[in-house]
Amino acid sequence: MRSIHKLCVFCASSAGQNPAITRATDAFGRLLAAEGIGLVYGGSSTGLMGTLADAVLAGGGDVLGVIPEIIATERAHPGLTELVVAPDMHQRKAVMYERSDAFVALPGGFGTVDELAEITTWGQLGYHDKPVGLLNVDGYFDGLLAFFDRGVTDGLLRPDNRALLAHDTDAEQLLHRLRTDAFDHQPKWDS
């Protein structure tokens, strides 16, 4: 079984309008704290990011926020265990990668998809062997998962590369999969 001491979570800096997503984000944060898993995230006090960090902190967990300098003054969460202000998004992602044992995406927008795609691609290329997953809250990622499955069907994404991204609708099951599933992180140079 793989140990996960620090989990990097990508999610929205806005709250959105779906209370099921907010509840699931709060519950995920409480689960991380209960399991003794520290959170690494984007450092914002707003939106789902703030909800997640607050839930982990309320449960007595450790939270590392990594926020780009351009928004640190207005958005940085003031109550974190540790806050790193990165000069840009590339450095932000590098710190988040270095300080995490695994990665999960919760609902979000372009930034969340960017971070999820980049970290999964790094695994595909063999830069790391850390597990990557997404929590499919209220069907939020159904379209993205269908997109990846279509890539496999059309021969543009190899099945073993597609398998690098775990997903589940249940947070506990997703954490279990990240700890136990075999992820084939052999360098892949073609699709």
- Average pLDDT for residues 180-191, to the nearest whole number? 67
Q: Has residue 189 got a pLDDT over 60? A: no
- Looking at residue 134, its amino acid is L
Question: Exposure of 24 by Cβ count < 10 A (0-12 exposed, 13-18 middle, 19+ buried)?
Answer: buried
pLDDT band at 182 (very low <50, low <70, confident <90, very high): confident
CATH number at residue 19: 3.40.50.450
Note whether residue 188 is domain-resident.
no
Domain count for the chain: 1
Domain range spanning residue 127?
6-180
Note whether residue 190 is domain-resident.
no
**pLDDT tens figures, 99-138:** 999 999 999 999 999 999 999 999 999 899 999 999 999 9
Note whether residue 186 is domain-resident.
no
Contact partners, residue 50, CB within 8 Å, separation at least 6? 44, 77
Note whether residue 187 is domain-resident.
no
Q: Has residue 183 got a pLDDT over 80? A: no
Note whether residue 101 is domain-resident.
yes
Note whether residue 155 is domain-resident.
yes
Note whether residue 191 is domain-resident.
no
- Joined tokens for residue 79: 């109550």
Note whether residue 37 is domain-resident.
yes
Q: How far is CA 61 from the centre of its chain?
A: 17
- Average pLDDT for residues 153-157, to the nearest whole number? 96
pLDDT at 73: 85
Contact partners, residue 121, CB within 8 Å, separation at least 6? none
**pLDDT tens figures, 35-82:** 999 999 999 999 999 999 999 999 999 999 999 999 988 899 999 999
pLDDT band at 181 (very low <50, low <70, confident <90, very high): confident
pLDDT at 184: 67
